[in-house]
């Protein structure tokens, strides 16, 4: 969606920019999909 909105997608004027920043921080804080896949695979 960032590509679809172009430069406006990275500003705070549109909700998509806020969502992108929020999801990026969640990914960095809690780990990405690969991290959790490896973590759960190690449990089995």
**Using only C-alpha atoms, what is the Rg of the chain?**
15
Tokens read off for 2: 């960032």
> For position 13, what pLDDT does the model report?
77
For 7-28, b/e burial (b = at least 16 CB within 10 A) is eebeeeeeebbeebeeeeeeee
> For position 19, what pLDDT does the model report?
86
pLDDT tens readout for residues 1-44: 666 767 776 777 778 888 888 999 999 999 999 999 999 999 98
> For position 2, what pLDDT does the model report?
64
**35 vs 25: CA distance, rounded Å:** 15
> For position 1, what pLDDT does the model report?
62
Contact criterion met (CB below 8 Å) for 10 and 17:
yes
């Amino acid at each position: 969606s960032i590509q679809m909105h172009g430069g406006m997608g990275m500003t705070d004027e549109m909700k998509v920019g806020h969502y992108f920043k929020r999801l990026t921080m969640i990914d960095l804080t809690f780990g990405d999909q690969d991290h959790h896949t490896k973590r759960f695979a190690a449990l089995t």
